[in-house]
């Protein structure tokens, strides 16, 4: 029987039946992928792929413009097409392609279609209404959805949790101040509290209402604000009591601090418009800020409102001629931009491939990243004192909200370039590393935007039912930071590094995997942790690593790839289960390679899976069969709440996996 070597051409079956991919095949795949990525580079040096999300964004787009009497009717009609594109067979709409229908998305989409003139007798709405009523009706929606409905008179303000703007007056030393909740919730809630205080109301024609979505009538609208009689003494009942107090003050108009609170909330918003792509540079915060400004009395031609509206509209992707896989004209919104993230990921990957460190395209990308360094203090500084501003954010501009994950990846990317202005790059990286260490949480891990944002009591607040109030430290970010610190010469002899390693080891699941907070899901967390441990010299024969790599091999699909659905956040027993995708297959391969496995059948089959599915132009796709051109979502916004489809994940992660595999095999051959 013939025995092949990695250097040979093509795919052969050697002794013991193992499939080998010749390194020439891998090198060709790397070459094509590299050329494809360079072809996507913007003239200014950055990379940016679409960030896809669910139909809630299109429904809210219609909601906002119908409320304010603004917007392009053509775009809103194309929004309708996008909503229809994603409707499930059961009549509802999902958080992610192929997922179960969600009540908030069902109600929002249903109402958006009615606002656009659709009859409730239309078969689309009949199917949607049937599903909504079978799942509890509109009362099962979260607070954000209900407040939007209140503005059109479709829900009662006294039947939704109070979001009084006075919360912004709580001092930082007070346990319940706004800097103890996540940065994204902060950006959403501050303008929403203004809307709650102003209580806008726009009367709709009866045919545009949603009375038919109440099970048992509106008298049940306050269902989720009733006492929990099964356990009278509980945090839920504690907060429900204070919610009733707040609502009572609202009804009798005893609000001595209201004017001051609204003014502070307004100024807080306006300050964060500066050097930003809108408030927080994220869709819901920008939308809420527009509605808040309008009801504060800002005219449509006020510069602040024009600016906010412009940033909001920029998030739109208009396809009046349709697109591949779905020829119907559509208009969809992105939740935000991702250029710093995408550029850093691409640049660090190209460095791993071995692109010349002085290549003009690499230097141009590094220049662009350096221009995005944060140089003023933001919300993070409310808790982290006496440290110079540094780091990077996710979007084009978002000065108040740098994050640890982006900063770690940018630092890895800058390591791949010999910049002609070495001093500038060194100063920026020194500041960023100092900032990252200052952001380390008490337990040794790192969170995204804030330090020690872990007060679980906030999740019992009635208006916190969007399930995204906290920003706790996570193993995926911590693993990335360990990899970055190793690249800059840090070792486990540094007590801060060792504390991070111990945090990771304590968080390992019983089956050997690690939870992925910012990517779907355990494949993502496990790959980043193992790369971080490997970079810090953690021995790959340790039980933690061996157990992790065995888990990765165990969940490999029969086709040779790996996949995992967003549903694993709802049911952890399904971890590692899902259709194979290029991005998740790449994560699994990177996990195995970081764990010291480059010769198992699992690795060989995974590399072959990627190679076989690469297109002639060097790219990959992650299309969901039979879903109108939809792609799988492998990015996580908020577990169980909001998921993302990063259009470049399926390009740079497979390239990184192939490059890492090639280097590993070449090193092994050289040592033989």
User: Does the pLDDT value for residue 1 go beyond 60?
Assistant: no
Are the C-beta atoms of 322 and 387 separated by less than 8 Å?
Answer: no
Is 172 within a domain?
no
Residue 17 lies in a domain: no
Q: In the predicted model, is pLDDT for residue 4 greater than 50? A: no
The label of the residue with tokens 């008490």 reads: 442
In the predicted model, is pLDDT for residue 3 greater than 60?
A: no
| Tens digits of residue pLDDT in 625-638 | 988 888 999 999 99
Query: For 423-443, what is each residue's pLDDT tens digit?
Result: 999 999 999 999 999 999 999
The pLDDT assigned to 408 comes to 98
Comparison of pLDDT for 630 and 578, the residue scoring more: 578
Question: What separation in angstroms does the CA of 656 have from each of 121, 237, 337, 478, 586?
Answer: 52, 50, 23, 20, 8
* Alpha-carbon distances of 620 from 144, 181, 526, 615, 617, rounded to whole Å: 37, 38, 23, 6, 9
Lowest-pLDDT range of 14-23, 171-180, 625-634: 14-23
* Angle ∠(265,267,272) on CA atoms, nearest 5: 100
Task: Report yes or no: 593 and 663 within 8 Å, Cβ to Cβ.
Answer: no
Encoded tokens for 242? 């204070």
Q: How does pLDDT run across 414-427, given as a tens digit for each residue? A: 999 999 999 999 99
Asked if residues 368 and 382 have their Cβ atoms less than 8 Å apart, the reply is no
Which residues neighbour 495 within 8 Å (Cβ) at sequence distance 6 or greater?
none
* Alpha carbon distance 6, 546 (integer Å): 24
Query: Which tokens go with 406?
Result: 């982006």
- Three-state secondary structure call for residue 122: coil
Number of domains in the chain: 1
Mean pLDDT score, 137-146: 94
Count of alpha carbons within 13 angstroms of residue 328, beta-carbon side: 17
Local structure of residue 213 (DSSP, 8 states): G
Beta partners for 643? 636
Q: Is residue 555 part of a domain?
A: yes
Q: CA 429, 433, 439 angle in degrees (round to 5)?
A: 145
Which residues participate in catalysis according to the annotation?
A: 405
CATH at residue 446 = 1.50.10.20
The region, left, alpha or beta by phi > 0 then psi within -120 to 50, assigned to residue 69 is left
Contacts of 367 (CB under 8 A, 6+ apart): 45, 419
> 237: pLDDT confidence band, cut at 50, 70 and 90?
confident
What's residue 229's pLDDT?
66
- CA of 192: how far to CAs of 108, 300, 464, in Å? 17, 19, 13
CA–CA separation, 601 and 252 (whole Å): 71
DSSP secondary structure letters along 377-394: --GGGGTS-S-----B-S
Token digits for 541?
Answer: 């024969």
Q: With 0-12 CB in 10 A as exposed, 13-18 as middle and 19+ as buried, what is 84?
A: middle
- Mean pLDDT of all residues in 144-151: 94
Assess if residue 473 is contained within a domain. yes
Is 30 or 225 the better-scoring residue by pLDDT?
Answer: 30
Evaluate if residue 97 carries a pLDDT over 90: yes
Predicted confidence band at 619 (pLDDT cuts at 50, 70, 90)?
Answer: very high
In the numeric block, which tokens belong to residue 330?
């559509």
| pLDDT over 70 (residue 162) | yes
| Total residue count of the chain as it appears in this document | 672
Q: If you ran DSSP here, which 8-state letter would residue 166 be given?
A: G
- The radius of gyration of the chain from alpha carbons, rounded to an integer in Å, stands at 26
**Cβ contacts of 659 within 8 Å, gap of 6 or more:** 30, 349, 352, 353, 354
Per-residue pLDDT, 17: 43
Domain ranges, residue 497? 23-51+336-452+468-671
Other Cβ atoms within 10 Å of 222 Cβ, number: 15
Whether 435 is covered by a domain: the verdict is: yes
pLDDT band at 10, cuts 50/70/90?
very low
**Chain centre to alpha carbon of residue 546:** 30
d(CA 328, CA 628): 10
Tokens of 174: 């007070």
pLDDT tens digits for range 34-56: 999 999 999 999 999 999 999 99
Query: Is residue 515 within a helix (H) or strand (E), and if so which, with residue range?
Result: none
Question: Is 60 exceeded by the pLDDT of residue 523?
Answer: yes
Q: Is residue 440 part of a domain?
A: yes
Q: Whole-angstrom Cα distance, residue 121 to residue 590? A: 52
Residue 460's pLDDT is 80
List beta partners, residue 12: 20
Q: How many helices (H) and strands (E) does the chain have?
A: 22, 7
Contact indicator for 370, 423 with CB cutoff of 8 Å = no
Helix ranges restricted to H, 86-142:
103-115, 123-134
The reply to whether 366 falls in a domain is: yes
| Nearest residue to 443 (alpha-carbon basis) of 501, 385, 528 | 501
Q: Is the pLDDT of residue 7 over 80?
A: no
* Locus of tokens 């060097």: 618
Q: Which of 31, 49, 1, 42 is nearest to 646 (CA)?
A: 49
**Both tokens assigned to 114:** 């009615």
Give the Cα separation of 111 and 150 in Å (integer): 12
Q: Give a yes or no: residue 482 inside a domain.
A: yes
């Amino acid at each position: 029987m013939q025995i092949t070597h990695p250097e040979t051409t093509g795919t052969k079956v050697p002794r013991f039946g193992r499939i080998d991919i010749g390194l020439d095949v891998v090198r060709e795949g790397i070459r094509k992928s590299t050329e494809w990525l360079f072809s996507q580079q913007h003239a200014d040096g950055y990379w940016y792929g679409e960030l896809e999300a669910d139909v809630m964004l299109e429904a809210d787009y219609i909601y906002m413009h119908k409320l304010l009497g603004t917007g392009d009717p053509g775009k809103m009609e194309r929004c309708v097409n996008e909503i229809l594109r994603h409707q499930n067979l059961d009549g509802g709409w999902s958080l992610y392609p192929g997922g179960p229908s969600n009540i908030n998305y069902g109600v929002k989409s249903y109402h958006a279609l009615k606002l656009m003139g659709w009859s409730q007798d239309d078969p689309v709405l009949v199917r949607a209404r049937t599903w909504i009523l079978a799942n509890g009706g509109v009362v099962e929606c979260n607070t954000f959805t209900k407040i939007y409905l209140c503005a059109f008179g479709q829900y009662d303000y006294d039947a939704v949790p109070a979001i009084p703007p006075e919360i912004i007056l709580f001092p930082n030393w007070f346990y319940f101040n706004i800097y103890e909740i996540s940065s994204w919730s902060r950006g959403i809630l501050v303008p929403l509290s203004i809307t709650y205080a102003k209580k806008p109301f726009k009367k709709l024609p009866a045919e545009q209402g949603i009375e038919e979505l109440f099970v048992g009538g509106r008298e049940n609208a306050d269902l989720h604000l009733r006492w929990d009689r099964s356990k009278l003494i509980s945090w839920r009942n504690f907060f429900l009591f204070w919610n009733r107090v707040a609502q009572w003050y609202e009804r009798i108009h005893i609000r001595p601090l209201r004017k001051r609170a609204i003014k502070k909330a307004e100024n807080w918003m306006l300050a964060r418009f500066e050097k930003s792509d809108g408030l927080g540079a994220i869709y819901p915060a920008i939308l809420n800020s527009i509605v808040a400004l309008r009801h504060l009395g800002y005219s449509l031609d006020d510069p602040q409102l024009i600016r906010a509206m412009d940033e909001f509209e920029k998030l739109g992707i208009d396809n009046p001629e349709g697109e591949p896989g779905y020829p119907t004209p559509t208009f969809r919104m992105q939740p935000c931009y991702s250029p710093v993230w995408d550029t850093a990921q691409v640049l660090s990957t190209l460095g791993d491939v071995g692109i010349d460190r002085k290549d003009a395209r690499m230097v141009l990308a590094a220049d662009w990243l350096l221009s995005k360094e944060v140089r003023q203090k933001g919300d993070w500084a409310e808790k982290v004192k006496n440290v110079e501003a540094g780091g990077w954010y996710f979007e084009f501009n978002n000065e108040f909200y740098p994050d640890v994950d982006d900063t770690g990846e940018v630092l890895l990317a800058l390591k791949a370039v010999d910049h002609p202005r070495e001093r500038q790059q060194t100063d920026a990286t020194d500041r960023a590393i100092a900032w990252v260490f200052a952001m380390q949480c008490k337990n040794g891990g790192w969170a995204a935007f804030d330090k020690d944002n872990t007060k679980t009591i906030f999740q019992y607040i009635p208006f916190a039912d969007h399930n995204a109030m906290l920003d706790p430290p996570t193993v995926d970010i911590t693993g990335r930071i360990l990899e970055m610190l190793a690249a800059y010469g840090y070792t486990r002899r540094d007590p801060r590094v060792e504390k991070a390693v111990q945090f990771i080891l304590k968080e390992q699941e019983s089956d050997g995997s690690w939870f992925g907070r910012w990517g779907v899901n355990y494949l993502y967390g496990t790959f980043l942790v193992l790369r971080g441990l490997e970079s810090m010299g953690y021995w790959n024969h340790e039980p933690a690593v061996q157990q992790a790599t065995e888990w990765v091999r165990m969940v490999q699909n029969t086709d040779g790839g790996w996949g995992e659905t967003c549903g694993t956040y709802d049911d952890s027993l399904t971890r590692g289960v899902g259709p194979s995708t290029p991005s998740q297959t790449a994560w699994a391969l990177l996990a195995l390679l970081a764990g010291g496995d480059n010769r198992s059948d699992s690795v060989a089959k995974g590399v072959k899976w990627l190679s076989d599915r690469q297109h002639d132009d060097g790219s990959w796709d992650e299309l969901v069969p039979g879903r109108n051109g939809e792609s799988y979502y492998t990015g996580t916004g908020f577990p169980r709440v909001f998921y993302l489809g990063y259009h470049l994940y399926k390009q740079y992660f497979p390239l990184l996996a192939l490059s890492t595999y090639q280097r590993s095999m070449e090193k092994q051959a050289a040592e033989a």
